[in-house]
Structure 1
Amino acid sequence: MADTHTAENQTAGVSEQDVRHVANLANLELTDQELPRMVRDLNSILNYIAELNQLDTAAVAPMAQVGEMLGLTPDGAGNTLRPDVVRPSVDRAAVMAAAPETDGRFFKVPKVIER
């Protein structure tokens, strides 16, 4: 993606070539009408992010978990979060035995993406 530098901020511009490349990687087929609209929309998003990056957040406390703000802690004090405890998982051999097709270690599935 091409970079455009200004005195106030730095914004990245998305070209039609960039969108075609990403669409190809994602196996998406964009029509000739969708391509310019996608370029415009992605550039609009990047410009908005550049605006947000200019905000002074020095006085804003960092948030690790939104649940902490709501008083939801896994300490059993009447909250809705369950405690994070290690529990046994399902038996791998039993799961593989019930699978329609397996090599004993992995599930075998039909190929779905053709390239």
Structure 2
Amino acid sequence: MSIQVNDVEHVAKLARLNLTEEERETFTEQLNAILQYAEKLNELDTDQVEPTTHVLHLSNVMREDEVRESLPQEKVFRNAPEEEDGQFKVPAVLD
């Protein structure tokens, strides 16, 4: 598989990019180099490699969900531009 100049022009049009002729040629060469490298990866023997969803082992780094005391309302509303009846007052969005 290879990329042609008209493919680059098509993608540029979809992305609403105005490319010079030099940019079209450069991007065509660069994209073809990427595809050639990807094809080279297909030559690797991966029969003994298990499929994975990610190359690195990831674990959940989120803290435990613990019930704890919340902030007092006075502290919460200290930096609020406006507050009314214990709620943030914001400009109306709907008529």
Q: Which TM-score band (shorter chain)?
A: 0.5 to 0.7
Name 1:33's counterpart in structure 2. 22
Aligned to 1:82, which of 44, 48, 62? 62
Name 2:50's counterpart in structure 1. 61
Give % identity.
32
What is the TM-score normalised by the length of structure 1?
A: 0.51
1:60–1:21 CA distance, 2 compared to 1 (3 A) = same
CA apart distance, 1:103 = 5.0
CA apart distance, 1:83 = 5.9
Structure of greater Rg: 2
Name 2:75's counterpart in structure 1. none
| Contiguous gaps of at least 5 residues in structure 1 | 1-11, 75-80, 86-93, 105-115
Distance (whole Å) between structure 2 residues aligned to residue 30 and residue 53 of structure 1 = 32
1:52–1:102 CA distance, 2 compared to 1 (3 A) = farther
Name 2:38's counterpart in structure 1. 49
**How many residue pairs get matched?**
73
Higher relative contact order (CA 8 A, sep 6+): 2
Aligned to 2:12, which of 23, 26, 32? 23
Name 2:77's counterpart in structure 1. none
CA apart distance, 1:52 = 0.6
What is the TM-score normalised by the length of structure 2?
A: 0.60
